[in-house]
Amino acid sequence: MKAKKAILFLSLLILSAIGTIGAQDTIVEPDQLIVKNTDNFRQEIIQDQEVQFFRGNVRLVQDSAFMFCDSAQIIENEVIAMGDVIIIQNDSITVFSDSLYYNGNSKEAEFYYNVVLQNADKELFTEYLHYNLETKQAEFIDTAILKKGTLTLSSLQGNYNMESKLAYFYNEVVIIDGDMQLSADSILYDFDQDRMYFLCPTYIVQGNRKIYCEDGYYDIGTGDAYFTQNAIIREDDSVAKAISIYYSESDSTVTLAGEASAIDSLTVARGDKIIINDATGDVQILGSGYYKGKDQTIEGEDLRFNKDTEDLYLPGRSRITLNEGWIDSDTTEYFKGPDKGTSVGGVIWEDTIEQRYLYTDILYFKDSTGYFEAVSQNERPMFVQVLDGDSLYVVSDRLRRGELSDSTGYIEAVGNVQILKSDFHGVCDSLYYSEVDSTFSLFRNPICWADTTQILGDTIKIILKDSSIHRLDALMNAFIITKVSPSFYNQISAKNIISYLEEEKLKRMEASGNATSLYMTQDEEDAFVGPNKTLCTEIIFYFKNDSLSHVKFLTQPDSELTPIDQAGKAELFLNGFNWQPERKPISVNLMRKLSISVIGTKSEPKDVFETEVENIINFKPTETDSSEHVKPIDKQEIQKRKN
C-alpha cells in the first residue's frame, strides 16, 4: 500500500510537468477538476447529463490538491472515486479511503470506509470523513481513532481544523498514552501546542493514580497537566483535592493550589498550596499549612518534609503538636535518620499533660527519646511548671530533658539556675527534676526563699504532690533563716531539715543531726527580749496559720536565753549564718537576661550582712526608739523563759 502511494505521488509530479491529456492548450478555470491520467475512458449521456468514466491509474488535480484512485466518474465538477482513493493537499495533508465523493465547486469531500487522514506526525482513522479542502476542516460522525507517537485517541464524533490546528473530539472520548488512560465526553486538541484541553467531567487513570476534573489540559509532548473544577486525585488510599492541580512530568511534581488537601489512611495535609514530588518524596505545604501524621500535627505558613525519609524543615513560624504537647518556633529542622532536630527563634514547648512550658532561643531535640536541650542566644532558656493555679519558673544557661529506662523523664538545668514562684524563690548552679517522684533537686550553693525565710543546704529538694509543693528538704549543712525584723533573725541549723507543707502552707519542720535553733523571743508587747538558742539532736517544729505553734525535742535540749542588751554577734547568729537577699530572683525578665551575674560569686567585703550585724552589736535602745520594740529583762525573766 505504501509503495503504491509513493509510485502514485511520483507519477503525479511527472504528469504535472508534461501537461494534461488532450487539453494541453486548453484554458481551464481555477476550480476546474483536471484529469491528468487514466488507463480507460468513456463518456455517456445519462438523464441529459454528460457523465465521464475513468478506469485505471486515475489521477486528477485541482489547485494544490492531487487525487488518485482506481476508477472515477465525473459529472460536471463533481467526482465519485473508488478504489485506493488518495488526496494530497499542499504536501502536508493526505487522505486515504476506499471511496470518495468530491464537489470541485465547494471543495468538499466525503471519504468512505478505511479512511486515513495524515497530517504531519498524526494519523486519523475512521469509516467516514467529511473534509473541506478550502477551509481544511475535517469532520467525522462515526468512530474515529487518532494516533500520534505513543498516544491513541478515539471518539464517536469530532472535527479537525488543520488551518487552526485545533481538533474537537466528543462523545465517548478515550485517550491512551503509555500507562495513562483518559475518558471524557469531549476534548479539544491543540496540535500546535500539542495540548489537550478538558471541557467536561474527565477521568484519568495512570498506574495506581486516578484523576477527576472538569476543566484543564494535558501537554502530550511534555507530559505536564493542569486539572481544575472539582479536581481530585486518588492513589491507593490517598485522596488529593484542590481548586487547581498541576502535574509536571519532568520533575514528577504535583502541585495542589487553592483549598488544597491530601489525605491518606495515616496522614492529613491541608494548605493554600501543596507541592508533592513523587521522585524525591518531598512535600511542601504553603499558606495556612496543616499536616497530621501518626504521632504529630504540624501547622505553619511553610511546611516541608519528606515522605520517605521523614525529614522535616519548617522555615517559618510553626507549631508541632505531639501526643503530650506542642512546640512553637520560627524555624525547625529535623532529620529522622540520626534523630536530630533543631528549633530556633522564640521556641515555646508545652507539655499539656504535666502542664509544663519551656521558652528558649534554640532547642536541640531527639524525637525518639524525648530528649531536648535548650540553650541561650538572646535570652536564657526558661522552664515553667504550673502548680495549683500558680507557676514555678526555672531559668538557667542550659536546660535539658531526657527519658529514663522506665520511659519517665527528667529535666536538668545547668549554669546560674534561678527559680521564681509567687511565694517561693531559689538559686543554685544546677538543678535536676525527676518525673518519677516529681522532685526538684538543687545542687551547688543552693538557696531558697519563702516569704521572709531563707533556706540553705548542700542539696535542696523540692517535692511536688498534686501540682503543689508538698515537701522541702535541705540536706547536709542545712540552715534556715527567717527575718523577723530589719535586724533580727530566727535561725535553725542541722545536718538535714525536712519541711512538710499542706496546700503550700508550712505544717511541720524536722531538723535532725546536731540541730540548733535560735529564736528571737518577744514579750506580750512584741518587744524583743533576746535570742533563745537551743541545741538538740532532733527538733520538730509545728506550725499553724503560717506561725510556729509548738516545738518538740526528741532528746534532752540544751537551751540558753541571752538578754537582748547582752547579745552580741555570737549570740544573735548561728555558725554558718549567711543572709543573701540580693541573690533572690524577683523578675522573670531579669532572670532571662544574659548579662545576669554568675551564681556563686562571693560578695565584696563589708556586705549587707556585715552592716546589719554591726548595727545590732552597737545598738543601744532609748526611750524614743521603739522601732524594734527591744527592752532589757532581768535574770528572773531569763530563767522563766528558759523553763
Distance CA 176, CA 149 (A): 11
* pLDDT on residue 567: 92
Q: pLDDT, tens digit, for every residue of 307-334? A: 899 999 999 999 999 888 899 999 999 9
- Answer yes or no: are the C-beta atoms of 232 and 238 closer than 8 Å: no
* Mean predicted confidence (pLDDT) in 600-608: 37
> What grid cell was written down for 122?
498524526
- Domain covering 1-17+29-132, topology: lipopolysaccharide transport protein A fold (2.60.450)
Q: Which residue carries 543601744 as its cell? A: 620
* Mean predicted confidence (pLDDT) in 360-371: 89
Q: pLDDT, tens digit, for every residue of 551-593? A: 899 989 999 999 999 999 999 999 999 999 999 999 999 999 9
Beta strands in 63-121 (DSSP E): 65-75, 78-89, 93-103, 108-119
* Mean predicted confidence (pLDDT) in 52-64: 93
By CB atoms closer than 10 A (0-12, 13-18, 19+), residue 277 is middle
Q: Which residue carries 522541702 as its cell? A: 472
* pLDDT on residue 614: 38
Q: pLDDT, tens digit, for every residue of 74-96? A: 998 999 999 999 999 987 899 99
Burial letters for 362-383: b for 16+ Cβ neighbours within 10 Å, e otherwise? bbbbbbeebbbbbbbeebbbbb
- Answer yes or no: are the C-beta atoms of 552 and 540 closer than 8 Å: yes
Distance CA 163, CA 165 (A): 5
* pLDDT on residue 30: 63
> What grid cell was written down for 346?
522564640
* pLDDT on residue 605: 37
Domain boundaries of the chain, sorted by first residue: 1-17+29-132, 493-596+619-642
Structure confidence at residue 545 as a pLDDT band (50, 70, 90): confident
Specify the higher pLDDT residue, 607 or 347: 347
Three-class SS state of 612: helix
Q: Is pLDDT of 1 > 60?
A: no
Distance CA 379, CA 10 (A): 89
SS (H, E, C) 326-381: EEEECEEEEECCCCEEEEEEEEEEEECCCCEEEEEEEEEEECCCCEEEEECCCECC
Give me the sign of the Cα torsion angle 624, 629, 634, 635. Answer: negative
The proportion of the chain whose per-residue pLDDT surpasses 70, expressed as a percent, equals: 87
Q: Is pLDDT of 396 > 80?
A: yes
- Answer yes or no: are the C-beta atoms of 12 and 4 closer than 8 Å: no
Three-class SS state of 465: strand
